[in-house]
Structure 1
């Protein structure tokens, strides 16, 4: 998971400038409130709008209510959510009409930060993409209202999940004891979706090479070498690419568990626990060096795509190349849904050179703490909480992902649900996600709510994805940490240190793998990291970890 932490700022011209800098240069989420939301601390809006709403059932409010949601938009969703069937029908059910102000993902962080800095922000930020530092900062400033009591009274579906899964409450409770958001949740038992993008290998190429499915990193290396030297797609060209992915760092991350690293899941790519039970900074560990040496061997021998993309914006180029059938192994969500390639099988955990066999690429059940927040501009907080809570329950969850019976889905005799032929065999040749656009808005991810296997029909629910998850189940981390939260003082220190550390680690990881930096520079690299206030960084990490354990 990308490290997303926030710069703490004071209300002055200086911090307004820093907001812009952080948004543009670090890709982080920053900002400050305007005069309206500051100085009074967190606001408790438990009684807000109570008289105007119904406690249970629909409609939620007795009189029509209009609200505005600032919303992050994935490129795979409709350009106007107010025209999708999901939100049109839900407006009728609730008597609440939502104006979704859509901002594309790649511009959203800056737009959101500027809105919060200026004080000109709406009732709700939906698909808010807020880190725990964001939540703590804006909550303590009073820009976001605290939801503890509102959840107890008006969110029975979400409260049930918090009671059922204590890790959920821990993940969204800030150091001040308050809850400021509804999260993006992955059902704890839905292993495939928690694994995210998987490592896939082309089964018919394995068969053609008369090789068994790799179970070790060495066997995987041997398979890649065989792919490079064989015309497996039978086109008379040496165009087979052994291993590809959208980003080099993602492939490196996938192999961490095979070298005994990242044993607390993907929310903490740089910190885990060593054999003695102490916190460990992964990028300076000798095992990380061994991992990079393994990756360097693959790259030097031409086994990793030399054109591997530097950023996700160019992912479509990677998908187009994959559609040509040239990859022997790929790190991707689904070869079928993104490249229309069949015949791939997902790999489980590979055993590394020292016997480690951990599938560390595993996400916590709270995948994003700050997916939905209510601002102090909202005069109908109780109704808003009821509006959101529906999607954590069974019926709302089904409607959010599947849409509407006999329109976007059918119910089979055995009670299971399936998308209609319009979605799966679209007469206009649209992909599944393209055909869903007029009904629902879930494609793209990050939404508030919970992803349950029985209602989610994305790539992670395909039979091959479920099979891959079964292979990995025995080797998943025993404990998976959510993102930790920091106090204001800790956060101010952490964001500056994290930016420097992350940028340097990413830069040097690429250089070591590609050979631009020799491994004789390893000690210099470690020394440079330690000079970046690593001791202070780990001290704050320890404090956050200690709070989490409590």
Structure 2
């Protein structure tokens, strides 16, 4: 600009201009020779330095000095799509980081799947980042190996929240490391403590007081004796033999009672299903070796025990045929009928429970696992997956992957986690140290409900928002067990989360070794197809046979060997071997 002003309106010939330039360059070359190289480098860096060119995540400071645009794909389930661009969270992120997130693909359902497939076949249309895609691990690894998404290993080495979360959650990094040794997704830190122990059994305490002097069963024998009393001693006092000692149903949230009972004999998490069998159901790791619990003699013993309960009318004969409507009806009959029921939630007087109101549901307690004849006393435990819906990937087209990785790490802070989940601080949530936390300690934060008719402008916001939080499965967050336990609980006596927290604390005492759980494995090629087929055929057969054994339609002692042989004929050894192969690769990649 200064040169142009010196020229003003005077005409300068090309020859004179060249001469001036040559003279200028000669003058520069004559400056302080001792530091000429240093000054030249400094001049280059200050005049042409890219403001977004950072060497590592730790060097990135938000907000950036200049605004950066990043294009984004998000598959946000149950939103219908189109909820992320005009969203308070998106604007808050821009305010804090100076990064404008351009959600060029904000979709849900089949639209998201179709568009994502098209995007991945046209590298020119790749966005800078993928916030959530619902890819499987196999798909993620495939896209990584095709060079469509970047390995994040080097970018995340010095990412503070990433490293902190890995320390708090020892299995996290392994879950996010693919079998090729690369990490292609930042991951989701959403540890649900009570979900780890969701196979709960609830017992009606007024009947325990009446029939058992207040003593809850501690063993399978004591459980049998107590259920016998419920069946024969008319605890509801209506003069009819209508009591149901234990009930459940197949297809609800952990409403299958067999899982709870089997773990008094052998570690086995194999929930029965009326549709597709659960992946890896019944498989455990024993000293690094994959075993199938449903083939063990202890599983046979569990079946015989449950057959005894079923044949004597102690386990509800409708358990394997009734649906949720019938289940709820039995639980909430005006003549109290049920002594124990399996449920991840609370359905006895459920209306009051879910509304956080006092009621008969408070007469129910979560029964701890009971000890079997060999002393086995375990709670079925589910794995925590940090892979989630494949959260946080960077495409090969992203010009500034260091900043993208730093953005993910920023979103994994506690503050950003709360903003993504609840909206603006002061309205959707607040920091606090008053009251009682979910974990019975000093709380760290509390949440509030923002009504649909919230006056955004009147409360100081620059515009009205129709959307003010991100979908639970389409955000990067840091919600560890400890952080979730720091949530303030207004009234523990009727709080839903608090009830589940206390139940999980009971069951945690009986947790199996976390290393015995089958992790979320990535299957490739032929293995992927074979595992899918075996899950349906072998898993389906096991579920069917389990019900047949319990109901007595198939004699356990006579048909057990045929059951084992049938599994072998169906390829169970190959099924286990393929799991072993992928598990070994998982462990190797995780450096364990």
Q: Residue 483 of structure 1 aligns with which residue? A: 520
- Structure 1 segment 483-502 matched on structure 2, within 5 A: 483-486=520-523, 488=525, 490-502=527-539
- Structure 1 segment 240-389 matched on structure 2, within 5 A: 242-245=246-249, 247=251, 250-262=256-268, 268-273=280-285, 278-300=289-311, 301=313, 303-304=315-316, 306=318, 328-333=340-345, 338=354, 341-364=361-384, 366=386, 368=388, 370-376=390-396, 381-389=401-409
SS of match in other structure, 1:475: coil
Q: Quick one: which of 411, 419, 426 aligns to 1:406?
A: 426
Counterparts in 2 of 1:135 and 1:209: CA distance versus 1, 3 Å: farther
Q: Residue 196 of structure 2 aligns with which residue? A: 194
Q: What is the deviation of 1:362?
A: 4.0
Q: Residue 152 of structure 1 aligns with which residue? A: 157
Q: What is the deviation of 1:468?
A: 2.4
Q: Structure 2: 5+ residue runs without aligned partners?
A: 1-49, 272-277, 435-441, 455-465
Structure with greater Cα Rg: 2
Q: Residue 71 of structure 1 aligns with which residue? A: 75
Q: Residue 416 of structure 1 aligns with which residue? A: 443
Name the CA distance, whole Å, in 2 between partners of 1:61 and 1:305.
69
Counterparts in 2 of 1:369 and 1:473: CA distance versus 1, 3 Å: same
Q: Residue 576 of structure 2 aligns with which residue? A: 538
**1:524 has 2:562 as partner:** yes
Q: Residue 103 of structure 1 aligns with which residue? A: 108
Q: Residue 218 of structure 1 aligns with which residue? A: 221
C-alpha contact (below 8 Å) 1:282/1:288 kept by paired residues: yes
Q: Residue 28 of structure 2 aligns with which residue? A: none
Name the CA distance, whole Å, in 1 between partners of 2:553 and 2:120.
41
Name the CA distance, whole Å, in 2 between partners of 1:309 and 1:378.
53
Q: Residue 206 of structure 1 aligns with which residue? A: 208
Name the CA distance, whole Å, in 2 between partners of 1:219 and 1:49.
71
Name the CA distance, whole Å, in 1 between partners of 2:269 and 2:324.
28
Q: What is the deviation of 1:223?
A: 4.4
Counterparts in 2 of 1:421 and 1:478: CA distance versus 1, 3 Å: closer
Name the CA distance, whole Å, in 2 between partners of 1:502 and 1:541.
14
Q: Quick one: which of 451, 468, 477 aligns to 1:449?
A: 477
Q: Residue 499 of structure 2 aligns with which residue? A: 464
C-alpha contact (below 8 Å) 2:137/2:522 kept by paired residues: yes
**1:167 has 2:171 as partner:** yes
- Structure 1 segment 430-449 matched on structure 2, within 5 A: 439-441=468-470, 448-449=476-477
C-alpha contact (below 8 Å) 2:89/2:423 kept by paired residues: yes
Counterparts in 2 of 1:496 and 1:439: CA distance versus 1, 3 Å: same
Range moving further from structure 2, 481-490 or 283-292: 481-490
Q: How many residues align?
A: 482
Counterparts in 2 of 1:170 and 1:409: CA distance versus 1, 3 Å: closer
Name the CA distance, whole Å, in 1 between partners of 2:500 and 2:372.
23
C-alpha contact (below 8 Å) 2:127/2:397 kept by paired residues: yes
C-alpha contact (below 8 Å) 2:54/2:60 kept by paired residues: no
Name the CA distance, whole Å, in 2 between partners of 1:112 and 1:318.
41
Name the CA distance, whole Å, in 2 between partners of 1:452 and 1:524.
46
Q: What is the deviation of 1:118?
A: 5.7
SS of match in other structure, 1:145: coil
**1:504 has 2:541 as partner:** yes
TM-score by length of 1: 0.70
Name the CA distance, whole Å, in 2 between partners of 1:205 and 1:466.
24
**Deviation string for 1:439-475 (max 9, x for gaps)?**
54465x6865343345435999833333323323332
Q: What is the deviation of 1:101?
A: 2.7
Q: What is the deviation of 1:142?
A: 3.2
SS of match in other structure, 1:68: strand
Q: Quick one: which of 138, 141, 150 aligns to 2:143?
A: 138
C-alpha contact (below 8 Å) 1:131/1:370 kept by paired residues: yes
Pairwise CA RMSD: 4.7
**Deviation string for 1:84-142 (max 9, x for gaps)?**
544443344343335363425xx699658855776587655545444433333333233
